[in-house]
A and B are shown apart, each in its own frame.
Chain A
Amino acid sequence: MKSITYFPGCTHHTNGRNMESSGKAVLETLGYQLEEMPEWICCGTVFGLSEDDLFHQVAPIRNLARVENAGDDKLVTMCAMCYNTLGRANLLVRKDKVALEALNRFMDDEPDYHGVVDVFHLSQFLRDEVGFEKISSKVRRPLKGLKVMPYYGCLLLRPEEVSIDSMEDPTIICDILEAVGVQSIKGSYISQCCGSYHTVDKKEAVARRAFEIISSARKKGAEMIALACPLCEFNLDDRQRLLSDNGMPVLYFTELLALAFGLEDSCDFDEHYVDPRPLLREKGLLGGSNGQE
């Protein structure tokens, strides 16, 4: 079993715990043990965009300094926002030595950071380190007949410097899901924003985003949406409460991998607002081989 250093972020121990538990179980089956990095702190969730706002780079860089100090040069996260914030801060200090020096001076209680850690989103790790063939080899129940629209959102793809795939035509999550037998559907809203943190102050606007994204998925024939971020999950799943058309199941892509690997116990489907079980049962993808639990 290989060990990989893992950054959970603020939400994968709480609202987003299904992604963590299923992702962990899936990685173990693939031969990787996730080790939570010691003394991680919140990355700040959103990357500071002002030129003089170095203060908001302290949190992400402090985390990376701790990883480097523990002797590691690789950090994996499952959250799209953590990935973006840690990744952009890392690129910033790699380019701007003056900023890095200032940050190191500010964090005088911490060993210096030298820019050596590479930040990965779990989907990248699965594509680049594990490979689709290995993923396919662990499938016990191919997810045949399930039409899923992968939804990417913003922060795995934009801006270009941190994009994990083509910005306008991403396929990474399709490719991972196809490796376990899913029929992936390409929608036109797959990288349009879900409304993000405005779910706190403008939930109607977010519900409208959810409505548009879900309607487009339906029009393309999708029966389910699969995604890779705890905030996208909340906005597309939970905000369906505010919609009259509200039956589109939204799962983390890791939950689908877990199902295909026979690890469905690692998912607590009660955590989702729209219960995916009726659809999964109808497709014979839950419980025993005949779909009975």
Chain B
Amino acid sequence: MELADSELLIRITELSGENLRSCYQCGKCSASCPMTDFMDLFPRDVIKQILEGKEQVLLSETPWVCASCFSCTVRCPNEIDIAGVMEAVRQIRLREKYDRFHPSRIPLDELEGLPQIALIGCFRKMTG
């Protein structure tokens, strides 16, 4: 008997357009990820928790550490765009008016040296 999809899985599927149910937990995404040292959940575990409907995944650090580098995406044997799934998790939070980062947290002496491209990229990914 197929379990019914959780609300979380339905929402993430809508936002990302990805079929997470094709994931067979091979871990290739985690193995390809350059940022795992800074993550609390491996990319594979993010996918697993979403599949299990565990809302706590929305509080994970991992989507905020993800750098949208697409290494996982291009290596997943089931063509799941994991980077897009990370974005979906971020979007759920950001659309609840949650800001992960505030410009005031950048020390003034550093702000001057930072390239625009970094600032715009960061605000696009980390603020609602």
| Contact across chains for A51 and B115 when beta carbons are under 8 A apart | no
| Contact across chains for B121 and A202 when beta carbons are under 8 A apart | no
Quick check: is A234 within 8 A (CB to CB) of the other chain?
A: yes
Quick check: is A193 within 8 A (CB to CB) of the other chain?
A: yes
Chain B CB within 10 Å, residue with most, of A198, A200, A202, A205 = A200
Interface residues of A in 1-27 (CB under 8 A from B): 9-11, 14-16
| Cβ-defined partner of A200 (8 Å) among B69, B73, B122 | B122
| Contact across chains for B118 and A160 when beta carbons are under 8 A apart | no
| Contact across chains for A196 and B67 when beta carbons are under 8 A apart | yes
Quick check: is A98 within 8 A (CB to CB) of the other chain?
A: no
| Contact across chains for B114 and A200 when beta carbons are under 8 A apart | yes
Chain A CB within 10 Å, residue with most, of B115, B119, B121 = B115
Bound state CA distance, A52 and B14, in angstroms? 8
Q: Which residues on B sit within 8 Å (CB–CB) of A209?
A: 34
Q: Which residues on A sit within 8 Å (CB–CB) of B126?
A: 201
Q: Which residues on B sit within 8 Å (CB–CB) of A15?
A: 115-117
Stretch of B40-48, B51-59, B81-89 at the chain-chain interface:
B81-89
- Interface band, chain B: 35 or more
| Contact across chains for A201 and B14 when beta carbons are under 8 A apart | no
Interface string of B1-29 (1 = CB under 8 A from A): 00000000000001111000000000000
Bound state CA distance, A195 and B68, in angstroms? 9
| Cβ-defined partner of A193 (8 Å) among B17, B67, B84, B117 | B67
Bound state CA distance, A159 and B69, in angstroms? 9
Bound state CA distance, A108 and B70, in angstroms? 34
Interface string of A197-208 (1 = CB under 8 A from B): 111111001001
Interface string of B84-113 (1 = CB under 8 A from A): 100110010000000011000110000001
Q: A50-B16, A51-B16 are in contact. Are A197 and B67 (CB under 8 A)?
A: yes
| Contact across chains for A16 and B124 when beta carbons are under 8 A apart | no
| Contact across chains for A45 and B71 when beta carbons are under 8 A apart | no
| Contact across chains for A201 and B122 when beta carbons are under 8 A apart | yes
Quick check: is A272 within 8 A (CB to CB) of the other chain?
A: no
Bound state CA distance, A167 and B35, in angstroms? 19
| Contact across chains for B117 and A198 when beta carbons are under 8 A apart | no
Chain A binding surface SS class: loop
Bound state CA distance, A198 and B125, in angstroms? 10
Bound state CA distance, A50 and B105, in angstroms? 27
Quick check: is A220 within 8 A (CB to CB) of the other chain?
A: no
| Contact across chains for B34 and A197 when beta carbons are under 8 A apart | no
Interface string of A46-59 (1 = CB under 8 A from B): 10111111001000
Q: Which residues on B sit within 8 Å (CB–CB) of A44?
A: 120, 124
Q: How far is the CB of A86 from chain B (nearest CB, A)?
A: 14
Bound state CA distance, A230 and B115, in angstroms? 8
Interface residues of A in 160-208 (CB under 8 A from B): 160, 167, 192-193, 195-202, 205, 208
Q: How far is the CB of A271 from chain B (nearest CB, A)?
A: 11
| Contact across chains for B16 and A158 when beta carbons are under 8 A apart | no
Apart from A10-B117, A195-B34: 15 A-B pairs, beta carbons within 8 A: A10-B116, A11-B117, A42-B120, A45-B120, A46-B120, A50-B15, A81-B117, A193-B67, A196-B69, A196-B121, A197-B122, A197-B124, A197-B125, A205-B35, A209-B34
30 pairs, CB–CB < 8 Å, chain A vs chain B: A10-B120, A11-B115, A11-B117, A15-B117, A42-B116, A44-B120, A45-B117, A46-B121, A46-B124, A46-B125, A48-B87, A49-B81, A49-B83, A49-B88, A50-B87, A51-B17, A81-B121, A159-B70, A160-B74, A192-B69, A195-B67, A196-B68, A197-B120, A197-B121, A198-B65, A200-B122, A205-B35, A231-B115, A231-B121, A234-B114
